[in-house]
Structure 1
Amino acid sequence: MNFRQFAINNVLRSKRTYIAHFLSSAFSVMIFFTYGLLAFHPELKDGIVSSSGTMSELGTIGMTVSQYIVFIFSFFFLLYSVGAFIKVRKREFGILLILGMSRKQLNRMLFIENLLIGAAAIVAGIGAGVLFSKLILLISAKVLAVDNGLPFYFPLKALLLTAAAYAVLFLLIALFSSVMLRKGTLLALVKAEESPKPQPKASPWLAVLAVLLIAAGYGVVMAFAVLQIFNFLLLFGGVALVILGTYFLFTQFSVYLMRHLQRKERFFFRKTNLLTLSELMYRIKDNAVMFFLVSIISASAFTGIGTTLAIGDPGLSAMENPYAYTYPYFEEEAELGNQHLSIIREELKKGGFDYKETSVQPIFSANGMKLVKLSEYNELAQSLGYPAETLGEHEAILTPSTVTEKNSYRIHGPAYEEIELETGKEAVTLRIAKAETFIAVPQGYGEQLVVSDSLYEKVKKTQEEQGENGFVIFHAFYVKNWKDTGDATRAMAERFNESGEYSYYLNSLYMDWKSAQQKNGILLMVSGLVGIVFFTFAASFVYFRLYADLARDEQQYQMIAKVGLSRKELGTIVTRQLLIMFFLPLLIALIHSGVAFVALQQLVDFSIVGHSIKIFLFFLTVQIVYFFITRWRYLERLNKIIQ
């Protein structure tokens, strides 16, 4: 057997240890390949440009940045995992040195092993990417809202780029692995597993500080959302407090809690609690930084994907414009406007849509106030399901034109109690009766006042006497199931253009949503794939730490088995420990992202509960499956030892 075969056999013999490292590496290769597959697709650019001229550039930038993120994060993840495996094999390396292997040969062996695993991961990752490329393109076409779809092509450029990039990455990892091993004497390598661990300690003050920091961070984030204080430094400060509090939560509070439970004798000496708590205290202390990283990375993945799903929700498009169609025209263009309105009505009826049609003609006072007639406003409000309002001659209602104004009215109410209105002949003081918290007037801008019909007519008559005209009439069509109006919208546009008349403006909520869906589709692809990679790496951290302590656990449970530990009791102890290791960081991540989603809900009118539950269930299901597989393999290994 030559030296190269010896290195290959080392990898094959340690396949149980290296399996998570290999699968995670292959998965990151596949994700990187997926970005390349989409970035180099010959028809992706055309499919997006047909709806939005800026999407090609944004898509290319998004995919490129995501590739860099996955690549850089993969480097640090692989470096961490290689370091964990070197720690596990220190005793093995020490024995090899005693048997006559030189340091140079040991470094060469590690270099070959890492290159072998890297080459296998590249082949497996690209192979999986090519195998599922058709499915990836189908899903991508759906997410990016590309009507014509994305046909399959052989992704040679993506394949070459992925292979070259990860070849360089694994070469760097192989070089770094040799540097890591240079630390420590021969004696330290041989006795690496025999070094005693100090008793874990924790400060009660830092434990309390952890809770206070997290609570303060939550408070700042909620203040940002509820009070609409859109200050980046405020949000950043809240997130920083939560991150710092999470660090102390695992390094101090968790250890302090374990020590507190140890002092509860009735609980501590019950059944196997003594072994479970004692072992958990050491595991949590040893893995505190890893738990912290997993929690923050997972929370970032959950929040990023959830926010993107919320941004892509059709409810977001309807927040500023609740009407399926808005058609404005000037009074002098009434003939053409009525023709187009007839087409809209016909196509809606042809499509089987129930709709409510209303109209409004805003005018401006002499001092620039936008006025809306009360009767027209009530028709708009009632079409949306809101009650009608009544006003006196000298009363007015503030109605928002933007989401920002709507939220301001909801939180702070009207900024003033009275307002002076110049009709053109006289000044009238109006009392602000209320400030509405929903958008009713289509395509509004600036401050809008709903006034009585008589006052409205007085202002309009004065303006007409002064020679002012050209008021715009807005026709609004409310359709409950507007997301299904795509075919009707396209048919309307075709009929409008048949006469060669293009001087019209038809605002379609469906087309607005379609454009937003394409923009957010790219964001969803970027955040979704990066988030999944982050979560996969985070879950692998737990696996690496578990197997880093496997040799010590084998010795420990072997000795305990000699004094009567049964397999059932071993399974109970191990299951409890694995539950903490796998689900404690995930629980903290779910709480952090849950608070983030509650804050996000304050900023939007539609419910994001569905998106939040979908994300949590997906990642929780993956983690549960991962837990049971790891538990099965771990117990199988320990049961063989204690036989």
Structure 2
Amino acid sequence: MFSKLAVKNVGRSFRDYGVYFLTVAFGVCLFYVFNALETQTVLQYLSGNQRQDLVDSIMRLIGMLSVFVWVVLAFLILYASGFLVRRRSRELGTYLLLGMERRQVAGLLLAETAFTALTALAVGLALGVVLSQALSVFTAGLFAVPQTAFRFSVSVPALVRTALAFVGIFLLVMVCHTLSLFRKRLIDLLRANRTNQELKARSLGASVALFLVGCALLGVAYAMLLIRGMLRVDALFWVMIGLGSLGTLLFFRGLSGFLLRLCQGSKKLYYKGLNLFILRQFNAGINTTYRSMTVICLMLLLAIGITATSVGLNNTVERMTEEAQPWSVELTVWPEEEGQAMDLPAALAERGFDPDRWCGPWAAFPLCRDSQGEFGLREADYAALESAWGTERAQAFLKHQGAEVLPNDDGGAYTAVLWHFLADYAGDPQGAEEAFLAAVSDLTNTGGYSYSTKQAAWMDLMGTKVLVLFIGLYLGVVFLVASAAVLALQQLSQAADSAGRYQILSRLGVSERDRGRSVDVQVFLAFFLPLALALIHAVVGMTAANEIIAQVGRVDVGASGAVTALLLVAVYGGYFLATCWGSRRMLRASA
């Protein structure tokens, strides 16, 4: 009987407060995906190319970041479960009134929590496994990793870590619920739904003034950011951050009055349908939630900015790779004695790396010093270099070496100082890389040598790309889920508090369809006003960031915009729809 009651309560609570279950499942899914990164195609590719040290560093950083994420999710789930129990205070008080002991009611809560935890873990882990594979395919394409490296995989260590992390959270939830139940008096539980928040009235003129001051402060903060840039972290930087935060707070504090004044200016709009009721409801709600809306707006800014920047930097890093290493391979050898002739192509061919087999265009030449002490590249060698790779790359080589173009014959002998071999791989780049590294490792009878390859440089910068992308997505989605969940729970709470008002509307003859629309409009305003301001913040911030990034490349606006929009639609839009559905159901049940 006891277990049947627990299961029945969980089912009813899920229908009424599906946002809670959605939040827990999202949290489990997210935690698994980013703790299972060792199964990602990109990291496996790096590991298979002798970059296990880089993979280990990425996983250690993700592990440390997961501790922060665990704390955020723990507070979020505690907040959500606390909301759920507060809405059921009268029900719990009724159990006590009917003769159940507090320990029995506490046991009922523990059973419900355990059932919810197991169900959310199962659903979240299943979604996490699927999403992990999708993320693997996405990142493999983003980093140009061969799709032959992809395979379906499930990370058992990540499953265990995720399960343990959320078992810990739910144990904490159980302890908090039990303590809360034993501290409250029976009368407090029974009267919980009748307790109203005290609303502090503010004149319409004052609200409009606060809104305009908030807009002015935001304008000043935007101007400072665009003029000063993002890299000057001094006293004025913190003034700019303070003005932006205060402007956001005043914007939401005065927003309800501003909208009210704006709509009252049009009598046709103000008195149409339930607009008067909706605006008054919104005004009453924002008077108590403007602080949380400010925090949510700033969290959305972080979510959008971090996600867009981490994805958009992909092309910038690729350009940095191209500039740092324009050739597939670059070998520099300095002879034991200056002036000594060297045949690098022949030396490499003897050791298994034949340029004619492994390479497309290639060139071997010395950098010389003439009788006047000028250091440079002979005109004939420069012409060959320019013919093979173009003027831009030839000039870049000279600039990098600090060399000049020397005449073919200046009437005196040239002394070879350094010998260079440059080439681009053809056909089988991986095989060519392995052959070159094997040949270079056996390169003897020289005074010394150094080499670099585009593949090695790509691996180094790919590690940076992986780190930036995964951490950006991890933090971005966490902030997005936290923002949407808090908004959803606030709106569900307000819908429950407004049930009596909607009962009066029903008695006055307002149809269920119109009542439902009024709920949807209020939820829409609560969700999309913070998002709209956060998007404006993000556009200004990204404009300033692009000015910095433009010095080395450009942000891939298309990719960053598409991924950010996809996350917003999937996560934020999902919470919005769930909140509308839950709020409508509450009001139908109370009618």
Counterpart of 2:168 in structure 1 is: 168
The aligned runs of 1:423-442 (5 Å cut-off) are: 441-442=396-397
Change (3 A) 1:210 1:344: farther
Counterparts of residues 230-269 of structure 1 (less than 5 Å): 231=233, 238-239=240-241, 241-250=243-252, 252-261=253-262, 263-264=264-265, 266=267, 267-269=269-271
Q: How many angstroms apart in 2 are the aligned matches of 1:363 and 1:292? A: 67
Gaps of 5+ in 2: none
Of 333, 336, 349, the residue aligned with 2:344 is: 336
Query: What SS is found at the alignment partner of 2:527?
Result: helix
Q: CA deviation at 1:177?
A: 2.4
User: What is aligned with 2:539?
Assistant: 594
Matched, 1:627 2:576: yes
Question: Residue 306 of structure 2 corresponds to which residue in structure 1?
Answer: 304
Tell me, yes or no, if the aligned pair for 1:145 and 1:514 is still in contact at 8 Å: no
Letter in 1 for 2:484: A
* 2:557 aligned with 1:606: no
**Does structure 1 residue 519 correspond to structure 2 residue 464?**
yes
Report the 3-state secondary structure (helix = DSSP H, G, I; strand = E; otherwise coil) of the residue aligned with 1:564: coil
Q: Distance in 1 between matches of 2:469 and 2:496?
A: 42
- Greater displacement, 490-499 / 567-576: 490-499
Matches within 5 A, 1:224-623: 225=229, 229=231, 231=233, 238-239=240-241, 241-250=243-252, 252-261=253-262, 263-264=264-265, 266=267, 267-313=269-315, 314-318=317-321, 320-321=323-324, 323-325=326-328, 327=330, 329=332, 332=340, 335-336=343-344, 349=360, 441-442=396-397, 470=417, 487-488=428-429, 490-491=431-432, 494=435, 497=438, 501-502=442-443, 507-509=452-454, 511-602=456-547, 603-604=549-550, 605-622=553-570, 623=572
List per-residue Cα deviations over 1:531-572 (Å, max 9, x = no partner): 223322322222212221233333212211332323443344
Shift of 1:334: 5.5
Q: Is the 8 A contact 1:224 1:234 kept in 2?
A: no
CA distance in 1, matches of 2:11, 2:5: 10
Alignment correspondent of 1:85: 84
Shift of 1:524: 2.1
Greater helix proportion = 2
What value does the CA root-mean-square deviation take over the aligned residues? 4.8
Specify the code of the residue in structure 2 equivalent to 1:253: G
Q: Alpha carbons of 1:7 and 1:26: their partners in 2 closer, same or farther (altered >3 Å)?
A: same
Amino acid at match of 2:12: R
Residue in structure 2 matched with residue 421 of structure 1 by the alignment: none
* 1:247 to 1:345, Cα distance in 2 relative to 1, 3 A: farther
What are the superposed Cα offsets for residues 159-216 of structure 1, whole Å, 9 maximum, x if unpaired? 3333222212100111112344566654444343332652543666654443344334
1:225-265, Cα deviation, whole Å (9 max, x unpaired): 48xx4548776664554344333332x23234234336536
Q: Distance in 1 between matches of 2:391 and 2:538?
A: 33
Q: Mean alpha-carbon deviation: is it higher for 276-285 or for 603-612? A: 603-612
CA-CA distance at 1:332 after TM superposition: 4.9
> How far 1:28 moved relative to its partner?
1.6
Query: Residues 626 and 158 (structure 1 numbering): CA distance in 2 closer, same or farther, change over 3 Å?
Result: closer
Alpha-carbon separation, structure 2, partners of 1:312 and 1:33? 24
Looking at structure 2, the residues matched to 68 and 57 of structure 1 have their Cα atoms a distance apart, in angstroms, of: 17
The answer for the alignment partner of 1:8 in structure 2 is: 7
| CA 1:319–1:36: 2 relative to 1, 3 Å | closer
Mapping for residues 69-218 of structure 1, pairs under 5 Å: 69-129=68-128, 149=149, 155-181=155-181, 186-194=186-194, 195=196, 197-201=198-202, 206-218=210-222
Alpha-carbon distance change, 87 to 234 in structure 1, aligned in 2, over 3 angstroms: same
Q: Report the AA paired with residue 83 of structure 1.
A: G
Q: AA paired with 1:599? A: A
Deviation at 1:497, TM superposition (A): 4.6
| TM-score with structure 2 setting the length | 0.78
Identify which range, 555-564 or 129-138, moves more after superposition. Answer: 129-138
CA 1:197–1:43: 2 relative to 1, 3 Å: closer
| Closer, same or farther: CA 221–512 of 1 in aligned 2, 3 Å | farther
Q: What code does the residue aligned with 1:15 have?
A: F
Assess if the C-alpha contact under 8 Å between 1:33 and 1:126 holds in 2.
Answer: yes
Q: Post-superposition shift, 1:517?
A: 1.8
State whether residues 29 and 121 of structure 1, in contact with CA within 8 Å, keep that contact through their aligned partners in structure 2: yes
Structure 2 Cα separation of the partners of residues 46 and 607 of structure 1: 25
Provide TM-score, normalisation by structure 1. 0.72
Gap change, CA 1:143 and 1:100, over 3 Å in 2? farther
Q: What is the rounded CA distance, in whole Å, between the counterparts of 1:585 and 1:370 in structure 2?
A: 62
Sort the Cα spacing of 1:27 and 1:88 in 2 relative to 1 into closer, same or farther, 3 A. same
Compute the displacement of 1:104 (Å): 4.5
C-alpha separation between the residues in 1 aligned to 2:86 and 2:521?
Answer: 25
In the alignment, the residues of structure 1 paired with residue 55 and residue 227 of structure 2 have an alpha-carbon distance, to the nearest angstrom, of: 37
How many residues align? The count is 567
Cα distance in 2, alignment partners of residues 103 and 336 from structure 1? 86
| 1:59 counterpart = 2:58 | yes
2: CA distance, partners of 1:167 / 1:256: 45
Q: Distance in 1 between matches of 2:458 and 2:191?
A: 64
Assess, with a 3 A threshold, how the Cα gap between structure 1 residues 193 and 374 changes in structure 2: closer, same or farther: farther
Tell me, what secondary structure is at the counterpart of 2:36? helix
Q: Which amino acid aligns with 2:487?
A: V
Q: Deviations over 1:313-336 (max 9, x none)?
A: 354425743734463546856531
User: Structure 1 residues 81 and 500 mapped into 2: Cα distance closer, same or farther (>3 Å)?
Assistant: closer
Give 5+ residue unaligned stretches, structure 1.
350-354, 387-437
Structure 1 Cα separation of the partners of residues 506 and 358 of structure 2: 79
Q: Report the Cα offset of residue 611 of structure 1.
A: 2.8
Is this contact kept in 1: 2:221–2:244, CA < 8 A?
yes
In structure 1, what is the Cα distance between the partners aligned to 2:346 and 2:358?
14
Separation of aligned partners in 2, 1:574 and 1:296: 25
Question: 2: CA distance between counterparts of 1:243 and 1:10?
Answer: 42
